[in-house]
Chain A
Amino acid sequence: MASIELDRVSKIYANGAYGVRDVDLKIEDGEFVIFLGPSGCGKSTTLRMIAGLESISAGELRIGGRSVNGVAPRDRNIAVVFQSYALYPHMSVWHNMAFGLKMRGVSSSEIETKVAGAADLLGLGHLLQRKPGALSGGQRQRVALGRAIVREPEAFLLDEPLSNLDAQLRAEMRLELVKLHRRLGRTIVHVTHDQVEAMTMGDRICIMKDGRLIQHGRPLDVYANPADTFVARFLATPPMNLVGAQLEHEGEDLVVRVDAETRLTVPRKHYLPYVHKAGGPITAGIRAEDIYETQAHPEWQRISVKVVAVEALGAENVLIGMVGRDKPVEIQARLGRHFFAPVDSTVDLYVDVEPMHLFDAETGKVVARPPLPVGR
């Protein structure tokens, strides 16, 4: 059993600065968890604390129910795959993979069998005698994984293992890792700053910022219901459009008013959760894919957008434009691949307001409303 529990875990450096602050999280046995966040958010530090490579300043870490705060990395039965792969350059692939087994006193016949098995699984059979220097990036990546797999650890900790690969190889390795997880059924903690990895690979994503765990949950749930503007913007490309506005009463309705021209009526079912914010500033969050070039639904609401650029990506076109007259705000919309508009022209677009979120203008925290069902 290798559940991993972080109980108010913190990392405080000698100068008093927090690297990680009060992280509370329980990772179930066999779960694939993604730590996502920008550089310096503390995700790698958290991973290293789980591995035992970084001391824990406060809080408790339990692996399989056992407190491991003072336990050396070698006694935690976890494997780490590093961003730099950290292969031993003076050893052949075979010796790289066998090193961990040798350190644990495994018999040489068993080492032979296990290394051959892992090499087979990862397609490394023909490379076993080579040194890491003679391997491509993708092959090194596989060796690093092989070195981890061969020991059959209780949990794998992956520290941005795909970030040094080119786009195509990265996509392949994403799939391989997911398959590997299904096959081995072990706990995996994967650290990344890549949203695609975060959205596609894990059972759960944990979003970190400034050393704090801001939000965690199933990827699509987090995507649909971000806790604050940071998560809202970070978890998508293009990022969620955030538009400063006033929330006002208008007859029976609540209206998000950007300026005299640009206004969006809040759906009736969100009236109650939002009404206490009426009469003040608000930040409206609209995903780029919730903006359309035609009104296919009567509840979608029109906005005028001045076109800045249209990026044709093949499968879709991303329009970058400005809304609002007094203080124009840039927004991005994912439109059909046949949509084109000349630069500087003004076009009417239609916003599906149901998934729209409102955020506190000061704190950036989401104004709570019933979560949006995923896959509606």
Chain B
Amino acid sequence: MRKFGLHFGLILACVVVLLPPLWALRTSFVPESMSYSTEILPAFTLDNYAGLFEKNRFGTFYVNSLIVALGSVVLALPFAACTGYAFARFRTGGRFARFVVLATQMLPPVALVLPAFALLRGAGLTNSLPGLILVYSALNLPFLTWILMGFFEGVPVDMEWAAQTDGATAWGAFWRIVVPVSLPGIAAAGVLGFILSWNEFLFALVLSGPQTATIPVSLAALQTSNGVQIAKVSAGVVLAILPLVIASRFIQRFIIQGLTFGGVK
């Protein structure tokens, strides 16, 4: 009986979590006119997806999002790895530097978006993908630094010492030993950074233009004067979460290994 209660509770929790994305999946295949129907699948169509790509240039925005999210991770990760390692191993800057890194995450994004706009406009980078990549890299850097610092603290210093007595320089020990050993953590940090950039809305809204909009901005644009095109929005949402589902499927074990890395010695 207790087991039944437990399973019932778990199933209920799953339903609560899964219902919205499942409903979005269902609505994405239903014609716009029947999207609010209470039937599970009143009709089946791929028009919503086709419409997104044909009329709403969703393909362009999709590629924009991929470029920006991947670009910002690729740019930020090496810097974050070096900074995180310096904090972890050499206590660079002491507690204060660590706090400052964390403190940047406490600012509301809206406080940063206008200065970022002013900076990008000065550099002529508004309405451009490189501009967005730069801003997202800067936003990701403290977060990735903090995560990677935790991983590097978990790498036994003996291993680096062994490499150094074996003939490696301090940099060589980092590059040849610490980085490969921390790859699960670095992968986890990369995926988390990708997700953050992929989902980011406010900066993309302010800093991008009609050619450089990303998925979250283009989804918001589906709210027209004729009302919200809920079936198209659903199709857009399904497409938007697709890379995250794929990434998490392949990287799941890295994330779990990564998130428990510091705790298990």
| Residue interface mask B62-86, A partner, CB < 8 A = 1 | 0000000000000000000000000
| Residue interface mask A56-84, B partner, CB < 8 A = 1 | 00000000000000001110101110111
- B159 cross-chain contacts in A, Cβ below 8 A: 86-88
CB within 8 Å: A-B pair count: 65
- A90 cross-chain contacts in B, Cβ below 8 A: 180-181, 183
The reply to whether A82 and B169 contact each other, CB–CB distance below 8 Å, is no
The reply to whether B161 and A73 contact each other, CB–CB distance below 8 Å, is yes
- A257 cross-chain contacts in B, Cβ below 8 A: none
Identify the closest chain B residue to A106 (Cβ).
B167
The residue that B158 contacts in the complex, of A76, A78, A86, A104, with Cβ under 8 A, is A86
Number of chain B residues close to chain A: CB under 8 A = 18
- Counting CB contacts under 8 A, is B168 at the interface? yes
Identify the closest chain A residue to B160 (Cβ).
A86
- Counting CB contacts under 8 A, is A140 at the interface? no
The reply to whether B164 and A72 contact each other, CB–CB distance below 8 Å, is yes
What are some 7 contacts across the A-B interface (CB < 8 A)? A74-B166, A74-B168, A76-B165, A82-B158, A88-B177, A89-B181, A104-B167
- Counting CB contacts under 8 A, is B25 at the interface? no
The residue that B165 contacts in the complex, of A53, A83, A84, A88, with Cβ under 8 A, is A53
| Residue interface mask B155-183, A partner, CB < 8 A = 1 | 01011011111111100100011001101
- A78 cross-chain contacts in B, Cβ below 8 A: 165
The residue that B156 contacts in the complex, of A48, A51, A84, with Cβ under 8 A, is A84
Q: What residues of chain A have their CB less than 8 Å away from a CB belonging to chain B?
A: 48, 51-53, 72-74, 76, 78-80, 82-84, 86-90, 99-100, 103-104, 147, 151
- A51 cross-chain contacts in B, Cβ below 8 A: 161, 165
The residue that B169 contacts in the complex, of A74, A76, A79, with Cβ under 8 A, is A74
Q: What residues of chain B have their CB less than 8 Å away from a CB belonging to chain A?
A: 156, 158-159, 161-169, 172, 176-177, 180-181, 183
Q: Could you tell me the distance between the alpha carbons of A103 and B165 in the complex, rounded to whole angstroms? A: 10
The reply to whether B181 and A88 contact each other, CB–CB distance below 8 Å, is yes
The reply to whether B161 and A103 contact each other, CB–CB distance below 8 Å, is no
Q: Nearest Cβ in chain B — how far from A82, in angstroms? A: 4
Q: Could you tell me the distance between the alpha carbons of A72 and B171 in the complex, rounded to whole angstroms? A: 13
Identify the closest chain A residue to B156 (Cβ).
A84
- A84 cross-chain contacts in B, Cβ below 8 A: 156, 158
Q: Could you tell me the distance between the alpha carbons of A19 and B186 in the complex, rounded to whole angstroms? A: 35
The reply to whether A103 and B162 contact each other, CB–CB distance below 8 Å, is no
- B167 cross-chain contacts in A, Cβ below 8 A: 74, 100, 103-104, 151
Q: For A48, A84, A103, which residue has the most chain B Cβ atoms within 10 angstroms?
A: A103
The reply to whether B181 and A74 contact each other, CB–CB distance below 8 Å, is no
Q: Could you tell me the distance between the alpha carbons of A83 and B162 in the complex, rounded to whole angstroms? A: 11
- B168 cross-chain contacts in A, Cβ below 8 A: 74, 103
The reply to whether B161 and A86 contact each other, CB–CB distance below 8 Å, is yes
Q: Could you tell me the distance between the alpha carbons of A6 and B167 in the complex, rounded to whole angstroms? A: 23
